[in-house]
Amino acid sequence: MMRLVQSFLIAAVTALILPLAGYAQGPLRIEITDGVIEPLPYAVPDFVPASPAAAEYGKSLARVVASDLSGTGLFREIPASAHVSTVSDFGAPVQFADWKTINAQALITGAVSLSGDRLTVQFRVYDVFSGAEIGSGLQFAGTTDGWRRMAHKVADTVYARLTGESAYFDSRVVFVSETGPKNDRAKRLAIMDYDGANVQYLTDSTALVLAPRFSPSGDRVLYTSYETGFPRIYVMDVGRAQRKVLDTQEGSMSFAPRFSPDGNTVVFSQAQGGNTDIYALNLASGQRIRLTNAPSIETAPSFSPDGSQIVFESDRSGGQQLYIMPASGGEARRISSGAGRYGTPVWSPRGDLIAFTKQNKGRFHIGVMRTDGTGERLLTASFLDEGPTWAPNGRVIMFTRESQGADGRATLYSVDVSGRNLKPVSTPDGASDPAWSPLQR
């Protein structure tokens, strides 16, 4: 009854809805809540080119789709070398028997045509064992320089149809690119596709820059720069690479900025006279409100997705711990309670979890807990992991891992919120402080 697919999933922790032949149509579906141990096998043959000129795009598109899907750890590609049939006509009936033979559970077929610098991509997703299409065919069109985004959009659609959740492939990451030794490190702001492709630099390395953060619409980036010699917050228009200093208080140090979910407010830390507190700046009115007022260090504020609350870190109890307060300030409640120190909290875009950096017994961890502080799970452990950022769908976390010693180097890593699929993100140089964009439109 539960056909082959079941053997690829952990029955105990994953539910699997499978269509049965003759029954009402139900989708091939994998449930990703608790992480998948055995990924679902799929095939994605080269997209069928409408002309010889489109053939390279047909190959490349299929490769990026496969890289996206397999990169999640939820899906496993059956390589072309194992295929027993080819797809040479996108419109022709699929020979499901040929894909069953190699145990492909899902099949993605596509076609691509090229007209001038304009690409048109069509694709379909099939449940091989029921012989049914999942969803209906879709078409994307755009210029050739955006071909990778089109592949990401195909993969986003496939992911959404097979998991029932929104995806994150057509997204970008802004980060700090690092070169040079530890005691002479040059840092500059950079932006790339989520998978490390298309790196562009947004600043030069003359001034130290820290911790960029995307606006909710992805068009602006907040970051901290020492370009005046003192840390100040800047907001950059990513498309035009123009930036201006934020109207924080002159003569004080300001850092750790983050947008509110509506993009109208920036929360940040300001240090003055040996004390760091959290402030909110209304971008339209310029009004600045002090949200915390304690002699301890309050920093790393992050809004809840509904904008009503802020999670932040404070050492008011002695060491760094996590607290939640109303977005307008006021009484805060401590949510972290385990051993060690907790910092850099970031509210999940789904609203259900808070990711954090934990320091305990000389090790660093990226972890998650529920917003009431229960259910703490550590996802990583190393000499130095810090600064989590959420994928737009709240399923994956990217962070900085710095290696130990004189040759220490910072690298970006990603990990599933389940703790599975830990892997480095390829960047040209050292990289730190990633911030994941929302899904692009």
Partner 1 sequence: MKASVWLMGLAVAGMLAACSKNDAFEDVNNVDLNNQTAGAVAGTAGDPTSPVYFQQAVGDRVFFLVDQSTLNDDARTTLDAQASWLLQNTDYVATIEGHADEQGTREYNVALGERRANAAREYLISRGVAGNRLKIVSYGKERPVEICSVESCYAKNRRAVTVLAAGLTG
Subset of residues 260 to 279 that bind partner 1, contact rule: CB under 8 A: 269, 271, 273-276
Under the criterion CB under 8 A, does residue 19 sit at the interface with partner 1? no
Beta carbon of residue 182, minimum distance to partner 1 (angstroms, whole number): 4
Kindly indicate which of the ranges 72-80, 118-126, 220-228, 391-399 contains the residues binding partner 1, using the contact rule CB under 8 A.
220-228
State which residue, 105 or 344, has the beta carbon closest to partner 1. Answer: 344
Tell whether residue 408 is a contact of partner 1 (CB under 8 A).
yes
Question: Is there binding between residue 244 and partner 1 (CB under 8 A)?
Answer: no
Contact between 184 and partner 1 by CB under 8 A: the answer reads: yes
Least Cβ distance, residue 263 to partner 1 (angstroms): 21
Residue closer to partner 1, measured from CB, 77 or 298: 298
3-state secondary structure the chain: CCCHHHHHCCCCCCCCCCCCCCCCCCCCCCCCCCCCCCCEEEECCCCEECCHHHHHHHHHHHHHHHHHHHHCCCEEECCHHHCCCCCCCCCCCCCHHHHHHCCCCEEEEEEEEEECCEEEEEEEEEECCCCEECCCCEEEEEEHHHHHHHHHHHHHHHHHHHHCCCCCCCCEEEEEEEECCHHHCEEEEEEEECCCCCCEECCCCCCCEEEEEECCCCCEEEEEECCCCCCEEEEEECCCCEEEECCCCCCCEEEEEEECCCCCEEEEEEEECCEEEEEEEECCCCCEEECCCCCCCEEEEEECCCCCEEEEEECCCCCCEEEEEECCCCCCEECCCCCCEEEEEEECCCCCEEEEEEEECCEEEEEEEECCCCCCEECCCECCEEEEEECCCCCEEEEEEECCCCCCCEEEEEEECCCCCCEEECCCCEEEEEEECCCCC
Residues 290-319, interacting with partner 1 (CB under 8 A): 297, 299-300, 313, 315, 319
| Stretch near partner 1 under the rule CB under 8 A, chosen from 166-174, 185-193, 302-310, 347-355 | 185-193
Identified binder of partner 1 from the candidate list 255, 303, 323, 399, rule CB under 8 A: 255
Residues 347-386 that bind partner 1 (CB under 8 A): 357, 359, 362, 383-384, 386
* 128 sits near partner 1 (criterion: CB under 8 A): no
Q: Which is nearer to partner 1, 334 or 420 (CB)?
A: 334
Nearer to partner 1 by Cβ, of 320 and 437: the residue is 320
Residues of the shown chain interacting with partner 1 in the complex, contacts defined by CB under 8 A: 181-187, 206-208, 210-211, 226-231, 253, 255-256, 269, 271, 273-276, 297, 299-300, 313, 315, 319-320, 343-344, 357, 359, 362, 383-384, 386-387, 402, 404-406, 408, 433
